[in-house]
Amino acid sequence: MSTLVIKDLHVSIEDKEILKGLNLTINTNEVHAIMGPNGTGKSTLASAIMGHPKYEVTQGTIEIDGQNVLEMEVDERAKAGLFLAMQYPSEISGVTNADFIRSAINARREEGNEVSLMKFIRELDKTMDFLEMDQDMAQRYLNEGFSGGEKKRNEILQLMMIKPTFAILDEIDSGLDIDALKVVAKGINEMRGEGFGCIAITHYQRLLNYITPDHVHVMMQGKVVKSGGPELAQRLEAEGYDWIKKELGIEDETVEQAN
């Protein structure tokens, strides 16, 4: 079992503090949903864990099985087992999807022990079929000209090929129609198991109809303010967030947002 522990995390972007002391522990074989209204720091958490260059961690720790994640470069974090399915994946012209994914897999392997091309293609074909993606997307340039839904599927394709220990899904459900959402959820459910833990960031309960979370956390003002089981998500769907604000005496749930 692996564990990702986030303690007292404070994160700033351009000198504005967005996360203000966030705590979260997740184990493999668990799915955690992080919910909350817009502007409460959910995506900042995802970017800070992965090491986005614009986000500065000013206080607190992130560790995987005792290893200090904050000291690692972005690629080292990935190799330590982290994966972020991004809300806005970059488009990279001239690099085919297949070449990119193969480079990512080989980056985890010793020189001379690269994945064989045939084996790679077989697995890629199989996974693309599973995610109901056109085979020609393997030879298209990375995310270039992909629709919003295609980009999200492509993130899940990478997730399934790379097989990280912990995946963070940053609003993987935004902009998806119901069919695409089902496919994306199918991919994530396929990954669930002993060696895999997941943080699903969303502000819609809808995703959680397809990926049943073990734990649900609500973020406001840059912190986790309430945690519970799947029933918490259902209550949020039925009643919204106001009852939590009232309960906790919060007037404005947002943090000052850059961008």
Partner 1 sequence: MTVETKLALSAEEVSSFSQSNNEPTWFANLRATAIEKAAELPMPKPDKTNITKWNFTEFPVHTVESAPFNSLDELPTEIKEIIDIKGQENLYIQRNNTPAFIKMSEELKSLGVIFTDILTAVREHSELVQKYFMTEAVKVDEHKLTAYHAALVNGGVFVYVPKNVVVEKPLQVVFINDNKEASLFNHVLVVADSNSSVTYVETYVSTVEQSQGQANLIEEVVALDNAQVTFGAVDVLAKGFTTYVNRRGHLKRDAKIEWALGLMNDSDTISENITHLVGDGSLANSKSVVVGRGVQKQNFTTEIRHWGKNSEGFILKHGVMKESAQTIFNGIGKIEHGATKSNAEQESRVLMLSENARGDANPMLLIDEDDVMAGHAASVGRVDPVQLYYLMSRGISKAEAERLIIHGFLAPVVNNIPIESVKAQLTKVIEGKVR
Choose one: 7-15, 90-98, 170-178, 198-206; the region binding partner 1 (CB under 8 A). Answer: 90-98
- Of 144, 188, 182, 147, the closest CA to residue 169 belongs to 188
Total residues at interface with partner 1 (CB under 8 A): 30
Q: The tokens of 100 are what?
A: 């990119």
Q: Is 19 in the site for partner 1 (CB under 8 A)?
A: no
Q: How far is the CB of 212 from partner 1 (least distance, A)?
A: 27
Q: x-or-dash pattern for partner 1, window 50-79, by CB under 8 A?
A: xxxx-------------------xxx-xxx
Q: How far is the CB of 68 from partner 1 (least distance, A)?
A: 18
Q: The tokens of 43 are what?
A: 């995506």
Spell out the residues 6+ positions from residue 253 whose beta carbon is closer than 8 angstroms to its own. Answer: 36, 37, 39, 40, 220, 221, 241, 245
Q: Is 90 in the site for partner 1 (CB under 8 A)?
A: yes
> Which residue in the set 14, 25, 108, 258 belongs to the binding site for partner 1 (CB under 8 A)?
108
Stretch 152-171 residues interacting with partner 1 (CB under 8 A)? 158, 162
Beta pairing class for 223-228 and 215-220: antiparallel
Distance CA 74, CA 91 (A): 18
Distance CA 5, CA 21 (A): 13
Q: Where do contacts with partner 1 occur on this chain (CB under 8 A)?
A: 50-53, 73-75, 77-79, 83-84, 86, 89-90, 92-95, 99-101, 103-104, 107-108, 141-142, 158, 162
